[in-house]
Amino acid sequence: MSAGVGKTAVSIGILRSLFRRGVPCAPFKAVAVVTPDEYAGRSLPPWRRGVVQSCAAAGTVPRWWHNPVVVNLPDARTPVGDLYVRGRRLGRVPVTGADRLDLGALPDRLRRRCQDAVEEGYQRLAGEVPWLLVEGAAGVGDLPPASDLANRILPELAGLPVIVVASARQAGPVDVSGLTDRLRALLLGFVLNRVSDLPGADETAQRLTLASDLPVLARITDAPPPIGYDGSPEKIDAMCEYRASRVDESGLMRLLDALPAAGPGLVEAAR
């Protein structure tokens, strides 16, 4: 529901847990904002860096269709960066915060190209792998619904089950009242991430449940990157294993195992 809650960490844990079992899986992130100070993927082209850790967790090489829309900022403080769509640089665009690309602020031509690329990338992966994990960007409500490609437009088109991630360290109210009926119907519940204090976690989980009317699916203990993390393949692999262990311990995978399979034609069916 907000930036910084650990959506990527949870996604990495789920993907690596599946990879350990030999389940073909892949990540999909509609929009990513990257900066040069991020360790992972420094040697890669900017358009590949948004999902390099998640792809490593799933044992696959990042392609444009894993992350169709990427904004590469020159540094974390500059709100304008290079827009890459399908791996091609199309110009410079503004961002409004971490992972927030406002479609409404783009010219019609760019907005359409971004949305077409996201739909094409999703359909391509949905037809390639039996287990696809779609990660949101920033938080629901940070952008107007018609401009939120990652958290509103794509989930409604895809029709996949949705899990909300909340951080035990910064958990504010989880307000789902502003979501459409279709999106609310897809919500399974929430995962409380970065849990280190059990009594405090109980209070946080109760508060979130009362505010959202969603069940607690799992509590995942804190899983920071390994000491000396430098974004190298070895360190990324160690981090993926660590996070998979935390996800497995939480019992989340047992719930995900029980979910019914979703077919690749969901985008067209939603239309």
Q: Quick: pLDDT tens for 82-102.
A: 999 999 999 999 998 777 888
Interstrand relation of 80-85 and 88-94 (parallel, antiparallel or unpaired): antiparallel
pLDDT above 70 (res 171): no
This prediction has a pTM of 0.91
Residue 175 CB: number of other CB atoms within 10 A? 12
Distance CA(161)–CA(168), nearest Å, equals: 22
For residues 97-123, give the mean pLDDT. Answer: 90
pLDDT tens-digit readout, 228-270: 888 888 999 999 999 999 999 999 999 888 876 655 444 444 4
pLDDT above 50 (res 153): yes
pLDDT above 90 (res 42): no
Residue 113 CB: number of other CB atoms within 10 A? 19
Among 16, 2, 4, 72, smallest CA distance to 42 is for: 72
Q: Which two tokens stand for residue 64?
A: 């444009």
